[in-house]
Structure 1
Amino acid sequence: MQFNRKKLSDKQLINLYKQILLPRMIEEKMLILLRQNKISKWFSGIGQEAISVGSAAALENDEYILPMHRNLGVFTTREIPLNRLFSQFQGKMQGFTKGRDRSFHFGTNEFHIVGMISHLGPQLGVADGIALANKLSNENKATLVFSGDGGSSEGDFHEALNVAAVWDLPVIFMIENNGYGLSTPSSEQFKFKNFVDKGPGYGMEAIKVDGNNILDVFHAVDTAAKKIRKNPKPILIEAMTFRMRGHEEASGTKYVPQELFDKWAKKDPVDNYERFLLKEKVISQEEIDDLRAEIKANINKGLKLAGEDIYPEVNTEQQLADLFLPNDTKPIPPKSEKKSSKRYVDAISDGLKQSFEKHPELVIMGQDVADYGGVFKITEGFIDQFGRDRIRNTPLCESAIIGIGLGMSIKKQKSVIEMQFADFVTCGFNQIVNNLAKSHYRWGQNADVVVRMPTGAGVAAGPFHSQSNEAWFFHTPGLKIVFPSNPYEAKGLLTAAIEDPNPVMYFEHKALYRSLTDEIPDDYYTVEIGKANIINEGTDITIITYGMGVHWAKEAMNDLSDLSVELIDLRTLLPWDSETVEKSVLKTGKVLICNEDCLTGSISGEIAAWISENCFEALDAPVMREGSLDTPVPFNADLELNFLPKERIKAKLKKLAEY
């Protein structure tokens, strides 16, 4: 192995040695603790330390790094206190997740690190988001994100690299090519020989380095970072290396031929660099021995402090409270009484435009949202007022764009992400339910992201442009869900969602866009998230619904005008307003819950169960529900009408009244 120090001083060379030796010695200690059952799991990076250390050492301390589970050297090079790392590994309170996640599944803005989630690929999009925020704020900063060769098979890899190239984002993609994805060799992962072959296809520079040579890695990252600070563009670096232990310790290494271990043992990054320093007389054996003794003492000191740390106290209220970043939900009233007639679609556009005026850090991203104005023309004209930096057309890549939203949140920027149709959110589902929803609970990082979801049937759009899929997200702690039924709420709930620093799924019904008009305030205002609206007071029956269900319920009530019906529009589905529901049920004793979604597994089932459990003694009839058929949404108009619950709501209401 040939080392080229270039212009590095002896002091810098020795510092790199200290930095690469520390994670090796920690790992050796962790393997002992694993056998002693003092930590639950370990993903070893032995043999790959040069990549982590060389990368982190080459960047400025306030430049973000997004490592994976074999990058201990990133955390130690950033000088995270060892006792905090060891507490994190043991699930204790001095760690970074309050015992809620393990190993390197955490982030810390203090040290400018954003850890992975188990799904491997999503952090690539998050890195794009940090890089975009840096670019928009004219910070000359690089961002570096890690991926393994196995993780590169995921769609997130392609999406993130493609967006970074199209948008000229200052991000370094560090690919650790160790030849295996757990037990699956590269020959069964991909057909190409090297990742540098992929760079030109994306339109980005690609470099291959010896990942076991810390100086090669350092120089490559240092050069790349200096380039993209001056001229923002992504760069791919492929670091060739080998994993000397199992994917994690329990998996073993029987699937790896012994000759590979023999070959790569000769290329050990710590041993070879140490021999180089000794040969060049940069360091002596005595100094090495002293350094090892010092590191050992620091490790033991860190373990002692971690041993004195406490495990998290079981406190249900605290667990629930940490789902969201605290936020003042008090509604903002309009400054004047001036109103104008606006359609539902115009109210959304108005709320979005006024939010852009109020929040200069706000960006909208989506397919065709710029010059075209979005397929429903909600952002038409925005590009002239707010510019292309803030009104951003995206490639077809829902996952990367949602990840970018989280990355921008890390840099204190807000984003609205438009799904062209709510149905297409499936392609970004993982980012929403596992990244946006869990980040604040896991490590205190809020996701200041609103996902706009044009939803619903009744427009003859067929199975893939008509789904009501709010229930998919209703089951996910850490998300908020709103669903306005009229222009006033469409504007006020959107502005409130953008004000809220937590992830909000904003559902907007396509069939209401141009069919519903109302007088609404011209000024900026918000509608409180989490508070239902009693549209009509009554004493005989309570109807609980939202979205298009509100209008179907009104029609049924008009046809059965002899009934005194209390109509509740939930408006917010998560968290839903159980207090308002309970008061109404206690008054009427009869309840009909309806939604446009397919009946089985819909939100109405959860609310019905809650009412049965908490209001049973007040009920004079079974809690009844109505929803769409349990089929995909059909295209034919007559079939679609039969699919929807509109005609069945009146019959169910009559049945409930006669019970």
Structure 2
Amino acid sequence: MNFDRKDYANDELLHLYKGLLKPRLIEEKMLILLRQGKVSKWFSGIGQEAISVGSTLALHEDEYILPLHRNLGVFTGRHIPLDRLFAQWQGKTTGYTKGRDRSFHFGTNEHHIVGMISHLGPQLAVAGGIALADVLEKRHKVTVTYSGDGGASEGDFHEALNVAAVWQLPVIFIIENNGYGLSTPSREQFRFRYFIDKGPAYGMEAVQVDGNNVLEVYDTVKRLAEDLRQNPRPVLLEALTFRMRGHEEASGTKYVPQELFEEWAQKDPVVNYEKWLLDEGVLSETLRHQFREQIKAEIEEGLRVADAVPMPTPSLEEEVADMYRPFEPDTALQLETGNSQPATDKRFVDAISDGLRQSMERYPELVLMGQDIADYGGVFKVTEGFVAQFGKERVRNTPLCESAIVGAGLGLSIKGKKAMVEMQFADFVTCGFNQIVNNLAKSHYRWGQNADVVVRMPTGAGSAAGPFHSQSNEAWFTHTPGLKVVYPSNPVDAKGLLCAAFEDPNPVIYFEHKMLYRSISGPVPDGYYTTPIGKAALAREGDTLSIITYGMGVHWATQLAEELSLDADILDLRTLLPWDEEAVRRTVEKNGRVLILHEDTLTGGIGGEIAAWIAENCFTALDAPIQRVASLDTAIPFAPSLEKQFLPQQRLRTAVEKLLAY
């Protein structure tokens, strides 16, 4: 192994050595503790330390790094207190996730680190969002994120690199090519030889380094970072290395040929760098011993402190509360509290556009992202004219990369910005599903980082658009703690709930029914206002039965009530997570006969959840069995006659008559 010291002073070379030695000594100690049962799981980075250490020490300390399992050197390089790091691994409350997540699945803004989730690839998109925030704020910074060769097969890898290249984001994508994805060798994962072959295809520079040579990694990242700060663009950096232990300790290494261990043992990053420093006279045996003893003492002290911390005592209130960032809405902005103002008749779609525009004016940190939303104005023209007012930096056309764009939204949140992601159709959210339910929804619970992201979802059937442009998929998200889900039925709520979604620092999934866009209108206040999230509203009042619904269901129920002259409460939920339990209780106790209506399919829909809650909490108030009316448990068909049969509207009358006759 050849080391080129260039113009680096002895102190800098020794700083690298101490940075390299620390994670190795910690690992050796952790492997002992693992065998003793004091650590439950361990992902070893032995043999790969030079990558994380060299890259971390080459950056400014306020530049973000997004590491993976084998990047202990990132955490030690950013001077995370060892007692907190050890407490994290033990599941103690003084760790960074309060015992809620393990190993390196955490972030800390204090140290400018964003930890991984187990799905690996989503990290890369979040890095892009962090870099985008720096570009928008004209900060000359770079972001570094890591991927293994296995994780680079995920779609998130492609999406993140593509978006970073299109937007020229200053991200260094470091690919740790260690030859295996768990037990699967590279030849069974991809057909190319090196990852640097991929760079030109994305329109980005690609560089390869010896990942076991800490000085080469350090010098390369330092040079690239200095350049990217002045000339923002992404770079793919491939680090060739080898994993000397199992993917995690329980998996072993029997699948790896012994000769590979023998070959790579000769390339040990710590041993080789230490030997070179000794040969060069930069490091003495005395100093070598001194460094080791200092680090070992720091490890023992960190363990002593962490061991003294008790395991978490469960607190029901704290667990539930920490799913969301605490937030008190400004009640002065809410119409419900007397915020009256002049109003103009607006269509549903115009009310949404109005709320979006006024939110952009109110929050200069808000960035809009979505396919065709810029000059074209979006397929439904909600953002038409926005580029002229706000510019293309804040109103951003995106590639067809739903996962990367949602991940970028979280990255923007980490840097204090707000983000809106428009799904062209709610059906397409499946391509960004993981980022929403595992990253946005869980980040505050896991490490206190809120996701200030609104995902707009044009939803619903009625236009004979078939199975992939008509789905009602709100139940996918009402089952996910950490999200808020809203679904307006009228123009005034459409604007107010959207403004409230941007005011709220938590992730909000905002459903807007496509068939309401241009079919209904009503007086909408001209100024900025909010509609409270989590509060239902009575769309119609009556004393015979209660229909609990939302979205298009409000209009179906209202139409039937008028046709039959029904004396019925029609409760518009407006928010599906958290839904308004007290409003449901009031109408149930008032009328005793309840029908729950939604456009979503019957099985697993939110109607079943509400029905169960009523049965558990309001059973004595019921005068008849709870009725549910929903769409068929099939995919949505294309032909208008089949779609009509699929939707619940024609079954609603029969259900109401049955309920009244009970």
Q: TM-score, normalised by structure 2?
A: 0.99
| 8 Å Cα contact 1:330-1:528 kept in structure 2 | no
| 8 Å Cα contact 1:182-1:246 kept in structure 2 | yes
Q: Aligned AA for 2:136?
A: L
In the aligned structure 2, how far is the partner of 1:635 from the partner of 1:205?
46
Deviation per CA, 1:152-180, whole angstroms, max 9, x where unpaired? Answer: 00000000000000000000000000000
Deviation per CA, 1:570-618, whole angstroms, max 9, x where unpaired? Answer: 0000000011101111111110001001111111000001101111111
| 8 Å Cα contact 2:334-2:532 kept in structure 1 | no
In the aligned structure 2, how far is the partner of 1:86 from the partner of 1:289?
24
Q: Secondary structure at the match of 2:510?
A: strand
How do 1:302-381 residues align onto structure 2 when only pairs under 5 Å count? 302-331=302-331, 332-333=333-334, 337-381=341-385
How do 1:161-310 residues align onto structure 2 when only pairs under 5 Å count? 161-310=161-310
- Residue 94 of structure 2 corresponds to 94
Matched, 1:652 2:636: no
Q: Secondary structure at the match of 1:237?
A: strand
| 8 Å Cα contact 1:329-1:529 kept in structure 2 | no
| 8 Å Cα contact 2:130-2:408 kept in structure 1 | yes
| 8 Å Cα contact 2:540-2:558 kept in structure 1 | no
In the aligned structure 2, how far is the partner of 1:257 from the partner of 1:445?
42
Deviation per CA, 1:31-64, whole angstroms, max 9, x where unpaired? Answer: 0000010010000000000001000000000000
Given candidates 602, 605, 609, the residue that maps to 1:602 is 605
How do 1:311-460 residues align onto structure 2 when only pairs under 5 Å count? 311-331=311-331, 332-333=333-334, 337-460=341-464
In the aligned structure 2, how far is the partner of 1:483 from the partner of 1:560?
26
In the aligned structure 1, how far is the partner of 2:5 from the partner of 2:287?
20
Matched, 1:521 2:521: no
Given candidates 569, 579, 584, the residue that maps to 1:581 is 584
In the aligned structure 1, how far is the partner of 2:254 from the partner of 2:88?
30
Deviation per CA, 1:15-40, whole angstroms, max 9, x where unpaired? Answer: 11111000000000000000010010
Matched, 1:27 2:38: no
In the aligned structure 2, how far is the partner of 1:233 from the partner of 1:428?
24
Q: Secondary structure at the match of 1:146?
A: strand
Q: Aligned AA for 2:615?
A: S
- Residue 619 of structure 1 corresponds to 622
| 8 Å Cα contact 1:141-1:170 kept in structure 2 | yes
Given candidates 614, 631, 649, the residue that maps to 2:634 is 631
Deviation per CA, 1:513-532, whole angstroms, max 9, x where unpaired? Answer: 00001011000000000000
Given candidates 471, 474, 486, the residue that maps to 1:470 is 474
Q: Secondary structure at the match of 1:417?
A: strand
Given candidates 541, 544, 548, the residue that maps to 1:540 is 544
Deviation at 1:559, TM superposition (A): 2.0
Deviation at 1:443, TM superposition (A): 0.2
In the aligned structure 2, how far is the partner of 1:333 from the partner of 1:571?
15
Matched, 1:50 2:50: yes
Deviation at 1:333, TM superposition (A): 3.8
Task: Tell me the percent identity.
Answer: 67
Q: Aligned AA for 1:603?
A: I
Given candidates 556, 559, 571, the residue that maps to 1:555 is 559
Deviation at 1:330, TM superposition (A): 4.3
Given candidates 503, 506, 512, the residue that maps to 2:510 is 506
Q: Secondary structure at the match of 1:466?
A: coil
Matched, 1:569 2:572: yes
| 8 Å Cα contact 1:336-1:523 kept in structure 2 | no
Matched, 1:138 2:146: no
In the aligned structure 1, how far is the partner of 2:658 from the partner of 2:349?
36
Aligned-pair RMSD on alpha carbons? 0.8
In the aligned structure 2, how far is the partner of 1:506 from the partner of 1:237?
38
In the aligned structure 2, how far is the partner of 1:615 from the partner of 1:41?
46
In the aligned structure 1, how far is the partner of 2:591 from the partner of 2:322?
36
Q: Secondary structure at the match of 1:110?
A: helix
Q: Secondary structure at the match of 1:373?
A: coil
Q: Secondary structure at the match of 2:420?
A: strand
Deviation at 1:336, TM superposition (A): 5.8
Q: Secondary structure at the match of 1:530?
A: coil
In the aligned structure 1, how far is the partner of 2:340 from the partner of 2:140?
43
Gaps of 5+ in 2: none
In the aligned structure 2, how far is the partner of 1:424 from the partner of 1:372?
19
In the aligned structure 2, how far is the partner of 1:473 from the partner of 1:488?
24
| 8 Å Cα contact 1:582-1:615 kept in structure 2 | yes
Q: Aligned AA for 2:113?
A: I
Q: Aligned AA for 1:5?
A: R
Q: Aligned AA for 1:658?
A: A
Deviation at 1:564, TM superposition (A): 2.1
| 8 Å Cα contact 2:156-2:404 kept in structure 1 | yes
In the aligned structure 1, how far is the partner of 2:541 from the partner of 2:458?
30
Gaps of 5+ in 1: none
In the aligned structure 2, how far is the partner of 1:57 from the partner of 1:330?
44
- Residue 15 of structure 1 corresponds to 15
Which 10-residue stretch deviates more, 433-442 or 4-13?
4-13
Deviation at 1:328, TM superposition (A): 1.2
Matched, 1:481 2:485: yes
In the aligned structure 1, how far is the partner of 2:364 from the partner of 2:478?
31
In the aligned structure 2, how far is the partner of 1:380 from the partner of 1:539?
44
In the aligned structure 1, how far is the partner of 2:542 from the partner of 2:41?
58
Deviation at 1:140, TM superposition (A): 0.3
